[in-house]
């Protein structure tokens, strides 16, 4: 499926025992062809380590798959401690040909920052995707997840 990411170790490519494949509806993010910016419906507490599911199916043509997907946290969100781990138990992985599971979180040293009180902050990351078509099609989308102390 997303073999380039398997080689790079960004996706584990599988369904390891105990891995959560389905995120509840409030943590499902559906990307659109028309919207370059998507806000997740769930507010993440800075202590949370929860799976989010990204549905990329609207970006694909019939029979097409993603050959590669890359995540980049924006500099402003990175300074706040927002991260998407790229290895270990919380690394992103492919659920199927058009869905990814990822575990965004706040670095341990930034969890108790006053940044997260009240309304909290929107933390952004970019997804850059390349299809397996010839020639490959490229998509880039920005996703925001609200992080607030609850």
Domains of the chain: 3-13+27-147 (2.60.40.60)
Q: Mean per-residue pLDDT for 63-77?
A: 94
- Cα separation, 104 vs 32, in Å, equals 20
pLDDT of residue 20: 58
pLDDT of residue 19: 56
pLDDT of residue 139: 93
For residue 96, which phi and psi values (nearest 5 degrees)? -160, -165
- Cα separation, 17 vs 83, in Å, equals 25
Q: Is the pTM of this model over 0.85?
A: no
For residue 77, which phi and psi values (nearest 5 degrees)? -75, -35
pLDDT of 74 strictly over 70: yes
CA dihedral 56, 140, 109, 89 (to 10 degrees): 40
């Amino acid at each position: 499926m997303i073999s380039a990411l398997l080689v790079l170790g960004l996706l584990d490519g599988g369904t390891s025992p105990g891995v959560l494949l389905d995120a509840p509806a409030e943590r499902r993010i559906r990307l659109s062809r028309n919207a370059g910016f998507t806000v997740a419906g769930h507010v993440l507490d800075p202590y949370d380590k929860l799976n989010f599911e990204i549905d990329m199916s609207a970006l694909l043509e019939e029979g097409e798959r993603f050959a590669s997907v890359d995540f980049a946290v924006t500099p402003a969100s990175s300074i706040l401690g927002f991260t998407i781990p790229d290895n270990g138990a919380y690394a992103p992985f492919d659920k199927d040909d058009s869905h990814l599971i990822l575990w965004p979180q706040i670095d341990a040293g930034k969890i108790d920052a006053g940044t997260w009180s009240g309304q909290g902050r929107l933390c952004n990351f970019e997804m850059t995707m390349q299809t397996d078509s010839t020639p490959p099609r490229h998509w880039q989308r920005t996703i925001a997840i609200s992080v607030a102390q609850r």
